[in-house]
Amino acid sequence: MSHADIGLIGLAVMGSNLALNIAEKGHTIAVHNRTASRIDDFVAMAGPLAERVVPKADLAEFIASIRRPRSIIIMVKAGKPVDEMIEQLLPYLEEGDAIIECGNSLYTDTDRRFAYLQGKGIGYLGVGVSGGEEGARHGPSIMVGGAKAQWHNAEPVLKAIAAKFKGEPCCAYLGEGGAGHFVKTIHNGIEYGDMQMIAEVYGFMRDGLGMKPAECAEVFRKWNEGPLNSYLIEITGHVLDAVDPESGTALVELILDKAGQKGTGRWSAIVAQELAVPATTIEGAVAARSISAMKDERLEAEKLYGARRGAEISLSLDTLEKALLAGKIAAYAQGFAVMAKASEEKGWNLPLGTVAKIWRAGCIIRSRFLDQMSAAYEGGPARNLLLVPDFVELMKANHGALREVVAAGAHGEFPLPCLGAALSYFDAYRQGLGTANLIQGQRDFFGAHGFERSDKDGVHHGDWPATIQVEAAEPQV
Ligand SMILES: NC(=O)C1=CN([C@@H]2O[C@H](COP(=O)(O)OP(=O)(O)OC[C@H]3O[C@@H](n4cnc5c(N)ncnc54)[C@H](OP(=O)(O)O)[C@@H]3O)[C@@H](O)[C@H]2O)C=CC1
Ligand SMILES: O=C(CO)[C@H](O)[C@H](O)COP(=O)(O)O
């Protein structure tokens, strides 16, 4: 019996499309899914590619059908299902076999699974895949972490199915253990920031400029031809253009203003905090999704405080475009700064230029300026993007617009958790003299934490007055 080149478990949106992509590139692929009916559905929709598909509802038969040493892609729901799947596979695997886990896993889970399986002689690659359904089918961006030996085995297949940017595959080995999943997590954090800033700008168009969805769509289409050119700007135009066939209303006006989240955005904000890297734009985007989900509370609060005043907004579309560009640079600067620090702390030696390169096509955050960004990081030191000459010029040209937009938002009562955070980040980052001298004074006052001085070396303490509070002060009404 001839064996399949590779196996894949998990035939939902991503797994089924990856499997078709692999088959289309000429590989025979064994497929398995917990719910067997999905396997039949998959074979039925595979069309002529079904001849390269080996469907197996029985796990033992699935494994036996793959050529040794086996490479098995797992594309199931992230979290516990991945651990359960690994345990189910283990009794059948042999030394030298490898699991290639392609879901949105938490990178520390990947580190743990990598070490666990290494002890059993089983290879493990933790692979971030971006591009959604269409990317998985026709070419995603692929971020690989794990042992180099396994990477070399999987490289031909992964590079064949990846998106291509000017002929170069958007797939690379990024480092040991959870490095690939870490980079995917930060990719998603940036994705959250990008999406939220676009939504904030849409808020101005809808509520400040009184534009209809189709008019907004037209603007996004135009912006997609300029410096903001990106997948997210492009799909925003399509989303705004869509019409509900039943009612004839713009679909976006019927979609509830509650956004879901599965974890990666939150993890990127958490890891930024853990590494003490400011990533306020990403944090703002995560918080914005959480507050969006609190629909009932928001409605209650609106009754208490009154609806937005609806002050007149005199922003031009050109100003909004420039503000979005400046905000976007801040979000990417933060994401790359988190990766640079993580790389240093975890000894991953993440190739940031390569990361930018493999994000140029296939992934959700692909955009024109990633090409510029890859040049900024390729070979050079991992400097904050705000210090890189090309981006300095862009920020100089566009931060004024961001300032105008944030000011208009404050006056007009538009929430701008991301654009506002981007501006504050920029202003704090470019401020030679900040205000933390006062914080240091306060910390030394209450906790004798000491402070450095600008005129002398060493650690100093202030001669602060005593503040013994005998009784709690009466509350002032
Ligand atoms: N959707 C997207 O755009 C993207 C998703 N991802 C990630 O890729 C992975 C797959 O995503 P997606 O295709 O959307 O599918 P889902 O995340 O919805 O997962 C569904 C798949 O997981 C299987 N599954 C769930 N629990 C178990 C379990 N305990 N044991 C075995 N199998 C289980 C399901 O099997 P069954 O049919 O039996 O229920 C099904 O095949 C996820 O980690 C996701 O975060 C990454 C990039 C983009
Ligand atoms: O990884 C992805 C895109 O890159 C997935 O679509 C992911 O589900 C997006 O995250 P969330 O569901 O939290 O919006």
CATH of the domain at 265: 1.10.1040.10
Alpha-carbon distance of 469 to 175, in angstroms, equals 55
| Co-location of 195 and 245 in the same domain | yes
- Domain extent for 328: 184-429
| Co-location of 313 and 416 in the same domain | yes
Q: Could you say which ligand is closest to the alpha carbon of residue 364? A: 2
Q: Which residue is closest in CA terms to ligand 2's atom 14? A: 261
Query: What percentage of residues in the chain have a pLDDT greater than 90?
Result: 92
| Co-location of 124 and 195 in the same domain | no
Last residue within a domain, chosen from 127, 153, 177: 177
**d(CA 468, ligand 1 centre) in Å:** 59
Instruction: Please confirm, yes or no, whether 184 is among the known catalytic residues.
Output: yes
Instruction: Please confirm, yes or no, whether 61 is among the known catalytic residues.
Output: no
| Co-location of 201 and 137 in the same domain | no
The CA-based angle 17-156-72, given to 5 degrees, is 55
| Co-location of 214 and 276 in the same domain | yes
Is the overall model pTM greater than 0.90, yes or no? yes
| Co-location of 142 and 76 in the same domain | yes
Task: Spell out which residues line ligand 2, taking CB within 6 angstroms.
Answer: 104, 130, 132, 188, 191, 260-262, 264-265, 364
What digits encode the pLDDT tens for the residues 216-241? Answer: 999 999 999 999 999 999 999 999 99
Output the pLDDT for position 132. Answer: 97
| Co-location of 114 and 260 in the same domain | no
355 is in an annotated binding site: no
**d(CA 264, ligand 2 centre) in Å:** 7
| Co-location of 213 and 113 in the same domain | no
Where residue 77 sits, what CATH number does that domain have?
3.40.50.720
What digits encode the pLDDT tens for the residues 91-102? Answer: 999 999 999 999
**477 in any annotated domain:** no
**d(CA 175, ligand 1 centre) in Å:** 25
289 is in an annotated binding site: yes
Atom number, ligand 1, closest to the C-alpha of residue 35: 38
354 is in an annotated binding site: no
Active-site residue (options: 101, 176, 184, 357):
184
**472 in any annotated domain:** no
**148 in any annotated domain:** yes
**439 in any annotated domain:** no
**192 in any annotated domain:** yes
**456 in any annotated domain:** no
| Co-location of 146 and 210 in the same domain | no
Alpha-carbon distance of 461 to 445, in angstroms, equals 8
| Co-location of 260 and 366 in the same domain | yes
Task: Spell out which residues line ligand 1, taking CB within 6 angstroms.
Answer: 10-15, 33-35, 38, 75-78, 81, 84-85, 103-104, 129-130, 132, 262
**d(CA 104, ligand 1 centre) in Å:** 9
Last residue within a domain, chosen from 151, 177, 203: 177
262 is in an annotated binding site: yes
76 is in an annotated binding site: yes
**d(CA 148, ligand 2 centre) in Å:** 27
**453 in any annotated domain:** no
Ranges of residues in the chain with a pLDDT under 70 are 1, 310-311, 470, 472-473, 475, 477
Tell me how many domains the chain contains.
2
Output the pLDDT for position 311. Answer: 66
Active-site residue (options: 101, 191, 283, 321):
191
Last residue within a domain, chosen from 394, 410, 429: 429
**117 in any annotated domain:** yes
| Co-location of 103 and 244 in the same domain | no
| Co-location of 349 and 226 in the same domain | yes
